Structure 1
Amino acid sequence: MRLDVAYDGTDFSGWAVQPGRRTVAGVLAAELVRVLGEIEGLTVAGRTDAGVHATGQVCHVDVPVAAWAGRSGNLVRRLARLLPPDVRVRVATEVPASFDARFSALSRRYEYRVTDASWGADPLRSRYLLAWPRPLDLAAMNDASARLLGEHDFAAFCRRKENATTIRAISQLAWRREPDGVLVATVQADAFCQAMVRSLVGALLAVGDGRRPVPWPAGLLDRTVRANEVTVAPAQGLTLVAVEYPGSEPGYAARAEITRNRRSLL
């Protein structure tokens, strides 16, 4: 079963289940068990960190055939009554066994919102928006962003994880200023390593307020370890907005096989 999920990450300790902590997966799994009796293998497209939001998260879970047959027509409505207000299952659909929410994904897209207004963030939006204390130069940030596009080793922007590659392919990285003055960064890649998006944003904000030159973020791509001078932007401005998958069943397994292969720039 594929679930399309949205949540306000403010009061969650991230997606993944952690003993003694409130997490999205923990809350969601508990209510799925209540409705369906048993579940197995709750797998998510992207494990969001504490405080990070989602409007387009995707996960999959195996459920008994009989339970699905009896609940498929009203599962979303039933979960809406049981789940807390800060997490919602928007769609639940049957998918073939070859579908893997994590490994079958073609890309993930995030948005990061920042305001550089002198009076700070609107109180009604402060949970989803970073207030920046200095004016930001949109053109400089877009210039610096364009230099990060393509496949590179993003070790300088990733938290170290043993035996994990930091090679990623960024297909979109651009900023826009909306009519209300809020700046929005759109970041899309085949996958992201831990803290990568917020590290990229942190580096680009340093360019935007003039503390770093435009070439600086791309210059860090020569590093083979995390760059300590890069500040990780706060979680509340970040939202996972979309995960893309192949359009037909044969593509699920094929994409999963590609994703599982360890990448190299050689």
Structure 2
Amino acid sequence: MKKIIIDAHAKINLSLDVLKRREDGYHELEMIMQQIALKDVITIEERDAGFTIASNSKEIPLDQSNLVYKAYNVMAKKFNINKGIHIYIEKNIPVAGGLAGGSTDAAAVLKGLNTLWKLNLREDQLMDIGLKIGADVPYCIMGGTALAKGIGEKLTRLKSFSDRLILIANPGLNISTADVYNNLKLEKITDRPHTENMLKYIEKGDTELVAKEMKNVLEGVTIKENPILNKIKEQMISHGALGSLMSGSGPTIFGIFSDSTDLAKCEENLKYSIKTVLSTKTV
């Protein structure tokens, strides 16, 4: 019985700008994406027939609505493969947290099946397939540090921004990404990310300037409706974070720290009131 185990890393947005609403209903974005060490672990095992999903988490669907199933289905149909597969998802990334947890699991399945079925697809070919599953999936296949445009599928690899100390805080709020985008008033956005500056600071490896320049225009919707998120940001800054930002449409907030002692103190403080608090780093 063939088996493969793949890490599926979470992502954070170092910046997120929404440029316009497209005619197809999607939004034109400009974002800087960064993978972090926090990860799910995906085990893919060949079976005689059928497709099944299991997980240690009760918060994710184990049916056809899971992006993991969609990843398997796309690959099986595209390459006319009729082999049974069982997938186990060790879920460590907070669910629906703006950290691409579902997308990174799907990306891991695409990469895993490519190896297991000896398809020999290139990364760019896997990314094209990934886009059929979700806008964040191509980035999750690429990984690292990247500039993303379009709906997130036009990717440019950037100089690595790895080994920066990150604190993640997720209060467990139920945030609808669709609602956040629908409630975003593009004409009222005045404080946008300066992407060109961010690109320069990443190229220089200047953690402090990157952290201070971080912006996410979706905060104007999500944080306005959920003031606790701003309190988390303030707590991170008061405990020495160089900068703090909401990832994606939320509700996860992260902080970049230069001092591990400051991070540990902040983590301890937030754990009293916040559902999920995790220390990690960029990769």
Q: TM-score, normalised by structure 2?
A: 0.31
Q: TM-score, normalised by structure 1?
A: 0.32
Identify the structure with the greater strand proportion.
2
Identify the structure with the greater helix proportion.
2
